[in-house]
Amino acid sequence: MSIVDVNKIDGIAIDSNDNSKLMLLITDHLDWIEEYEHLFQLQNKINAYINFLESEQYRDIYPEKQFTTYCIEIHFKYEITSNCIKFVDTINKQLSENNILIEAIVS
């Protein structure tokens, strides 16, 4: 699974340090040669994850668990561009009121 598998969750777990935080993983193996297309695919994947959270589909996996915060970790294979940083910052500002955080990690 990866960024191109829009309708699949790449990974899901409870944060080992915070039992009330649900962690979701996006793996991004794409380079930035086609930056616009890459950002578009990333947006689609993030939107699918937000839908997953808003519709509480995670209850299929953790039926008894109550979460107060959510984190979407995006693991990038390649160094991210300045436009990607701006994109993630903008999304974080919008999602913070819903207790959702996006973290960008370059592996």
Q: What is the pLDDT of residues 66-98, one digit of tens each?
A: 999 999 999 999 999 999 999 999 999 999 999
Enter the pTM of the model. Answer: 0.94
Distance of CA 75 to the CA centre of its chain: 9
| pLDDT per residue as tens digits for the range 1-45 | 678 889 899 999 999 999 999 999 999 999 999 999 999 999 999
* The pLDDT of residue 22: 98
Residue 20 lies in a domain: yes
Which residue range forms the structural domain that includes residue 65? 11-106
Q: Is residue 69 part of a domain?
A: yes
Q: What is the pLDDT of residue 103?
A: 97
| Residue 65 lies inside a defined structural domain of this protein | yes
In a domain, 36, yes or no: yes
Residues 45-66 have a mean pLDDT of 95
Any domain includes 5: no
With 0-12 CB in 10 A as exposed, 13-18 as middle and 19+ as buried, what is 100? buried
How many structural domains comprise the chain? 1
Tell me, yes or no, whether 2 lies in a domain: no
Phi-psi group of 78: left, alpha or beta (phi > 0 → left; psi -120 to 50 → alpha; rest → beta):
beta
